[in-house]
Structure 1
Amino acid sequence: MIRRSRWLSGALIAASGTLVASGLTVMSGTASAGDAPETEAPAADAHQGHAALQAAPPGEWIPVDEPVEGIEPLENPPFAEHREFQANCAPTHRLPDDPIVYPGMPGASHFHTFMGNDSTHAGSTTESLLAGGTSCLAPGDRSAYWMPTLYRGDEAVDPRGVQVIYYKSGIRDHTSVRPFPTGLRYVVGDPFQSAEEFLDGSVEGWECGDSYNNADIPAHCPEGSQLNVRYQAPSCWDGRHLDSPDHQSHMSYPVVVDGADVCPTSHPVAVPMVEFKMAFPVDGDLSDVHLSSGRGYSFHYDVFNAWDEPTLAAMVEQCINGGLQCDPRGYDQYNPEHGAVLDENYELPRA
């Protein structure tokens, strides 16, 4: 399935349509905005579903330097219950920027909460991300991850601590998954999607307590619980482009053939399936909890790959191709004989 984005249909209008100025909110005290505007953060209620300052400009097909061919999946691939590793990263800052959808247009987006690369802003490029710092446990992961900011009333609510970003196999034959190419970028989901479309791309949707698979944010969560959202990305790539005009057409979700999940012929290269599992410290009455992009089913996220290539390749080979359930060091506690990919500092040992 290829999702078609409605990003390009015009300016993004969310809840109240209030315009705001660009600003940076640093959450950990360590983030840098690079050459982002050096302005104070907007007032707490300035997020209120503001309109984009400009319509999203059409993107372009960005070709990869060397086209990549898919690996023919095995007819009888080895069984593995888990085929994954974690790339856990903490939130760094908030900005009304989106360097994929609104490149070079600071303030043109609804507010996003950024994780991973601490330099991400509207003007970010592959080169600037590779030169930036990271809040991910693995220093080799300088990728930028972002999602719409969650609010309780007028107050932004940041995910608490390091968040779980899974890298998994989205297809049956996990041995044929390749690492991302450097500079690959895409948008997962759509702020204009319906509740049904949101659930079509999620693994659990919104959840808290004993309530799962919700398209919208639940009206109430048990006291002492937290609000979680889980959402999965497409994991099949066309092997030809790092980006596309709608930021989605170069990617595809797997299709089912003879009962097995495989990549379609149009997108033959299996790459890691990124899954966000975000945890927000809110409970009780959630009637005033919402996203900067609107209702809960407007949840979406962006991935801009800037991994150190040898590190990502080693993690994919051991954990995804090897059929293991790895932590952020590439270690499977249930199969300790394989050891860890990364050292105690989450770095790849170099020869």
Structure 2
Amino acid sequence: MRASPKRLPALLLGTALVATLLGVGTLASAADPAADSPPPAAAAHAGHRMVASLQASGDDADGDGYIPAVPQVTGVTPSTANPPPRYFHEFQANCAVSHTAPDDPIVYPGQPGRSHDHTFMGNTSTNAHSVTATLYGGATACKAPGDASAYWMPSLFEGDRKVLPVGPQVIYYKTGVTDYTSVRPFPKGLRFVVGSPLQSAAQFRDHPGWVEGWECGDSFKNVDFPQNCPVGTQLNLRMQAPSCWNGLYLDTPDHQSHMAYPVVKPGTNDDVCPPSHPVALPMIEFKMAFPVDGDMSDVRLASGRGYSFHYDFFNAWEERTLKAMVDHCIVGGLQCNARGYDETHPERGAALDEQYRLP
């Protein structure tokens, strides 16, 4: 049973409503010279976001855009506890690029070729028809075989040449709240979109998931691509995902409102989940490195300018493996690699064996 009936009439599926639901507001204003209007491909991608969601496909059997969690997690109060301070509480999911395709199983489920081009990491089978059952237990380009999750982002181009990250990319799983001991694993099948291809430069800069923007060499905190990157450097980007869940839905029509970023507890410096989204989950952080340098004038994303960067996550971890990593590294206050091993605390052991599997 759903927590409440929530169906949206078709006449409300305009781009303006989509932008509002995505939290991107209006498009860039003329007062911001760096914030050009998004290209037609990006506008089409976001403009059909709700329409794509409201089609019966995959895990959303009735096509209303809401995929309820089973069971739903209710009765949770956001934790305001202060456990012993730990500088780190994280682990890495090192996942390489597996393929690219103009598919998006979250935004355009069951509609191959509908999206702008995406670069996929992790699960090697991800395509427009991917659902929880097809991803779960599948082959993966992540170091841990138990992580069959799908991760994707708009492809990056230099002119007409597609530039793919080389080797395992760093995807952090960390705490977003002060009480790191309250973080629990992702529910199976949870999915969400971080950011929007329609966001302006200012909205990208002010996004709660902003970390350092685009950087290379000594140039950092760039909203758009730097004009030039020193030869031999790479173009890097870091962006964090929301980590507080409402406990009710694995997806919602806008692919974002079931998730929220932590907020600061009034009168303190503590980060807590808001009452509307009380369940603390790992905070994913993309740390991507693209092998491109020199003149950056021809560099673009499939979704548009640099500030159109966004990414998607579809959880398909094997449950026991993810729980072991979360409990050992995040709840345990460690800085772990993809095995769940903290080299500064060898006495604590590792969550996984040398083959990155549960022992």
Q: Is the shorter-chain TM-score for this pair beyond 0.5, marking a shared fold?
A: yes
Is 1:123 the equivalent of 2:124?
A: no
Is 1:15 the equivalent of 2:39?
A: yes
Asked if the contact 2:241/2:261 (under 8 Å) is kept, the reply is: yes
Is 1:189 the equivalent of 2:213?
A: no
Distance 1:228 1:263 in 2: 29
Asked if the contact 1:78/1:173 (under 8 Å) is kept, the reply is: no
- Partner-residue secondary structure (3-state), 1:183: coil
The 5 Å alignment of 1:187-336 reads 187-199=193-205, 200=207, 201-257=209-265, 258-336=268-346
Question: What is the CA-CA distance between 1:213 and the residue it aligns to?
Answer: 1.2
The 5 Å alignment of 1:33-72 reads 55-56=48-49, 57=51, 59=53, 60-69=65-74, 70=76, 72=78
CA RMSD of aligned residues (A): 2.1
Q: Are the structure 2 counterparts of residues 207 and 296 from structure 1 closer, same or farther at C-alpha, using a change threshold of 3 Å? A: same
**How many residue pairs are counted as aligned between the two chains?**
313
* Deviations 1:65-101, CA, capped at 9 Å, x for gaps: 1122436525332101111000010001111000000
Question: What is the CA-CA distance between 1:58 and the residue it aligns to?
Answer: 5.1
Give the letter for the 1:253 counterpart: Y
Q: Are the structure 2 counterparts of residues 256 and 62 from structure 1 closer, same or farther at C-alpha, using a change threshold of 3 Å? A: same
Question: What is the CA-CA distance between 1:196 and the residue it aligns to?
Answer: 2.1
Give the letter for the 2:316 counterpart: A
Aligned partner of 1:34 in structure 2 is: none
Give the letter for the 1:166 counterpart: Y
Q: Are the structure 2 counterparts of residues 52 and 300 from structure 1 closer, same or farther at C-alpha, using a change threshold of 3 Å? A: closer
Could you tell me which of 21, 42, 49 is aligned with 1:4? 21
Distance 2:221 2:317 in 1: 31
Asked if the contact 1:68/1:239 (under 8 Å) is kept, the reply is: yes
Could you tell me which of 156, 176, 179 is aligned with 1:173? 179
Task: Calculate percent identity across the aligned residue pairs.
Answer: 62
- Partner-residue secondary structure (3-state), 2:153: strand
Distance 2:98 2:43 in 1: 22
The 5 Å alignment of 1:129-140 reads 129-140=135-146
Question: What is the CA-CA distance between 1:260 and the residue it aligns to?
Answer: 0.8
Question: What is the CA-CA distance between 1:195 and the residue it aligns to?
Answer: 1.5
Could you tell me which of 153, 157, 160 is aligned with 1:147? 153
Distance 1:6 1:190 in 2: 9
Give the letter for the 2:213 counterpart: G
Distance 1:107 1:54 in 2: 16
Is 1:346 the equivalent of 2:339?
A: no
Distance 1:194 1:145 in 2: 23
Give the letter for the 1:88 counterpart: N
Distance 1:50 1:174 in 2: 38
- Partner-residue secondary structure (3-state), 1:4: helix
Question: What is the CA-CA distance between 1:54 and the residue it aligns to?
Answer: 9.0
Aligned partner of 2:59 in structure 1 is: none
Aligned partner of 1:96 in structure 2 is: 102
Structure 1 alignment gaps of length 5 or more? 18-48
Distance 1:341 1:131 in 2: 19
- Partner-residue secondary structure (3-state), 1:279: strand
Give the letter for the 1:63 counterpart: P
Asked if the contact 1:14/1:51 (under 8 Å) is kept, the reply is: no
Structure 2 alignment gaps of length 5 or more? 1-19, 27-36, 54-64
Aligned partner of 1:156 in structure 2 is: 162
* Deviations 1:202-224, CA, capped at 9 Å, x for gaps: 11111111111111111111111
Distance 1:329 1:175 in 2: 20
- Partner-residue secondary structure (3-state), 2:344: coil
Distance 1:175 1:236 in 2: 14
Aligned partner of 2:83 in structure 1 is: 77
Asked if the contact 2:214/2:238 (under 8 Å) is kept, the reply is: yes
Distance 2:82 2:319 in 1: 29
Asked if the contact 1:325/1:332 (under 8 Å) is kept, the reply is: yes
Question: What is the CA-CA distance between 1:15 and the residue it aligns to?
Answer: 3.2
